[in-house]
Structure 1
Amino acid sequence: MSAGATTAEDPAHGLAVAVLVPCHNEEVAIASVVAGFRAALPRATIYVYDNNSRDNTAAAARAAGAVVRTEPLQGKGNVVRRMFADIEADIYVLVDGDDTYDPAAAPAMVRLLVENQLDMVTGARVTEIEAAYRPGHRFGNRVLTGIVGWIFGKRVSDMLSGYRVFSRRFVKSFPALAGGFETETEFTVHALELRMPIGELPTAYKERPPGSVSKLRTWQDGLRILRTILVLVKEERPLPFFSLAGAVLLAAGVGLFVPVLLEYLATGLVPRLPTAVLSTGLVLLSFLSFACGLILDTVTHGRREAKRMAYLAIPAPAPRSGQSTPTPAGR
């Protein structure tokens, strides 16, 4: 078979591909996930990271042919941080271990990343099965994705998808600070802030297999993600964040001061001295907030430059020439 034909069939020809599967109590589903990705990406090395499972997740993954490792710190974000630090590859496919994502979509996602030299491809979930993607989760995803899009740029339609393909330079420049499911929000904001080339493909999404239980907590995880968005806005957009806080404080201070001023103009007296002092304090705090925003904006600009330089220090994904055998991931 010619090199061109091989490359056409294998979008990652000559590149080391690692499939990363964080798992917690996925004994029922993990074997199917591993088998699916072994069929879809036969050259890839599949890593399953067991996150304190109380069932036989690790044994089932090992029997299916995956490389099994453990991460004792609970939470998906902690597992992602460990995987990104430990595993060496050219292309990383990240997927949940609950058998809800379609492994057959992986080659197309990898091809899109390689051929267009992208840094992240998101599998946007498409399904008509209400049990797989409940209306509440769908609505929450739209709201949270809309907030991030409004603040950081509308380039992703499914911010909370757990199915991603990354380049090496994304993975090795990603700080991975989150501890739980909010790590998907970090992926998106990191890519948008550094203006990375990214893509998205619609992928089939199905319900969990019988006997598998979701770990998502709708309200708790939604609030954690919203909190993460607010923290990221503070850190990545400090001038608008503190300017808004300053404007609220200034409006409150002026609102309290107006009645005091009108009474003083009418009577020449200031009987509500505590209100006058409070309004003065609020106005001073508003100016302090504006000043903090200006200073932190300069600091953030420097941090963004440093992250950009770290990102540029890693080569873009590109197929290697020749027929050489890909270097196994993790070696």
Structure 2
Amino acid sequence: MSSTLPLNTSPPAESPAVDLSFVFPCLNEEATLGSCIQRVKDSLAGSEIRHEIVVADNGSTDRSREIASSMGCRVVPVAARGYGAALRGGIEASHAEYVMFADSDSTYLYEDAAALYKAAKDGNADMAIASRMTGSIEPGAMPWLHRWAGTPVLTTLINWLFHGKLSDCNSGFRCIRKSAFKEWQIRSNGMEFASELLIKALKAGARTVEISSGLRKGPEGRVAHLRTWRDGMRHLLFIFSEKPRLFELLGFMTVLLTTLMQITAFCTGPVSIAGVFHIFDLHSEALLLLAGIIGAQFYLFSCMLFLQSSDRRLKITQKLIHLDEGVLFFSLLLTLCACAALAGYIGIRWSLSGFVNLNLARDLLFWFHPLAISISFCVGLLGLHVLKKAQR
């Protein structure tokens, strides 16, 4: 690590009276940090907003910290790595009622800082967001996949699941009320911090406002910290983790409906509708089996999510999560015995036929359905109970 000048990173004995703390998360941003700081200063200079600028340094080995210190900013070292960790460290160290933050990569319209603060203050909002999607985005500033797929899909998903009215869930330029931020108990260390902040705010019924902003193209040659597929999946996983009820109902209804249809197919045999559509043949039963297994996995996924959620759940879900270990043991044992019995039956029928082709597909698909779902549930509940013990 390169040598650095001594920095005064500890807060003064008495916190300065400021209206706004602007936090920059920073990891080796010497090429752009200075211009970002200056543009924020220029935006706030013409207003009566008393402010401080905090640089949450996440272990920079370049001159980022010296640049920040030389421009009058307070540098706060944050040991835990990650975008979210840096922001949480900077927000916790801030002194103002409202805390604003933006990336230090020179892509956001930092001149909108005063307008963003005014929108939050005048609207008595817990969070104000500078939306890139409703503003002007320079050519090349945002990858096509992010602009037309990633951000719109995630924003729509959050709005639908958590009753929001947002236009840009991934904007990293926001202003929040610090007291509300503490109540939301944000824990993410990575890029999913952005989604967690929105979802926790929406679930808490917080007042959120937006202003139109935009995005500039970053400097040539800069390697972005964001990794599209990894960080996109992290956002998606966090969104899902906050909505276990969705997977509970989807999985439960899928298992129930496919099982009922499988029974119907076994009882009626192939059915022709208007002489055009033919259902409940072997292919239909195979698809019903596949759908039933998928439904069981979604349902078990919801059970695991409920381990860290207090959301309302079905009574059967509550009973399965707290199923007696003895009952679980005998359920697994009986299911395995049933699988062995079915395998034995197939072996006997095969030997009686002289070890030639069997015509048992319809019967086997019918019995495979409950056995496959049962074994999925039993093994899934084993994992669930291990996780529950580990949490304790």
* Common fold by TM > 0.5: yes
1:278-312 deviations in Å (ceiling 9; x for gaps): 54467779999xxxxxxxxxxxxxxxxxxxxxxxx
Q: Equivalent of 2:252, from 246, 249, 258?
A: 246
Structure 1 counterpart of 2:95: 88
Give the greater-gyration-radius structure (CA).
2
Q: State the distance in 1 between where 2:232 and 2:377 align.
A: 33
CA distance in structure 1 between the partners assigned to 2:84 and 2:170 by the alignment: 13
Q: Which one-letter code corresponds to 2:248 in the other structure?
A: F
- With over 3 angstroms needed to count, the CA separation of the structure-2 counterparts of 1:285 and 1:83, relative to structure 1, is farther
Given that 1:102 and 1:204 are in contact with CA atoms closer than 8 Å, whether structure 2 keeps it comes out as yes
1:48 match: secondary structure: strand
Q: Aligned partners of 2:247, 2:185: CA distance in 1, in Å?
A: 22
Structure 2 residue corresponding to 1:137, chosen from 123, 135, 146: 146
Cα deviation for residue 258 of structure 1 reads: 3.5
Question: Residues of 1 paired with 2:81 and 2:144: CA distance?
Answer: 28
1:6-44 alpha-carbon deviations (Å, 9 max, x no partner) = xxxxxxxx7531101111121100011111222222431
Cα distance between partner residues in 2 of 1:273 and 1:220: 44
How large is the Cα RMSD of the aligned pairs? 2.7
How far apart, CA to CA, are the structure 2 residues paired with 1:285 and 1:84? 48
Distance 1:197 1:50, change over 3 A: same
| 2:44 corresponds to 1:41 | yes
Is the partner of 2:161 in helix, strand or coil? Answer: helix
Is 1:156 the counterpart of 2:159 in the alignment? no
Matches within 5 A, 1:1-331: 16-42=19-45, 43-125=50-132, 126-139=135-148, 140-233=150-243, 238-262=244-268, 278-280=368-370
Alpha-carbon shift at residue 213 of structure 1 (Å): 2.5
Question: Counterparts of 1:239 and 1:67 in 2: how far apart (Å)?
Answer: 44
Mapped contact 1:245–1:286 kept (Cα < 8 A): no
The secondary structure found in structure 1 opposite 2:119 is helix
Which structure ranks higher in relative contact order (CA pairs < 8 Å, sequence separation ≥ 6)?
A: 1
Counterpart code for 1:225: H
Letter in 1 for 2:259: G
Q: Say which SS state the counterpart of residue 173 (structure 1) adopts.
A: helix
Q: Alpha carbons of 1:152 and 1:286: their partners in 2 closer, same or farther (altered >3 Å)?
A: farther
Q: Where do 5+ consecutive residues of structure 1 fail to align?
A: 1-13, 264-269, 289-331
Amino acid at match of 2:138: I
CA drift at 1:181: 0.9
TM-score by length of 1: 0.72
Q: Which AA in structure 2 matches 1:181? A: M
TM-score (norm 2): 0.62
CA contact (8 A) 1:109 1:121 kept: yes
Tell me, yes or no, if the aligned pair for 2:76 and 2:93 is still in contact at 8 Å.
Answer: no
Contact in 1 for aligned 2:56/2:87 (Cα 8 Å): no
After superposition, what is the alpha-carbon deviation per residue over 1:31-61, rounded to whole angstroms, capped at 9, x for unaligned?
Answer: 1111122222243111101112232221222
The one-letter amino acid of 1:33's match is: C
| Identical counterparts, % of pairs | 26
User: 2:137 touches 2:214 (CA, 8 Å); kept in 1?
Assistant: no
Q: Does the C-alpha gap of structure 1 residues 252 and 282 become closer, same or farther in structure 2, counting only changes over 3 Å?
A: farther
Instruction: Measure, in 2, the Cα distance between the counterparts of 1:243 and 1:191.
Output: 24
Q: Residues 86 and 273 from structure 1, CA distance in 2 versus in 1: closer, same or farther, beyond 3 angstroms?
A: farther
How far is 1:72 from its partner?
A: 2.1
Q: 1:241 Cα deviation (Å)? A: 2.9
Using the TM superposition, give the Cα deviation of residue 163 of structure 1 relative to its aligned residue in structure 2, in angstroms: 0.1
Secondary structure in 1 aligned to 2:42?
helix
Q: Secondary structure at the match of 1:47?
A: strand
Contact 1:252 1:282 in 2 (8 A): no
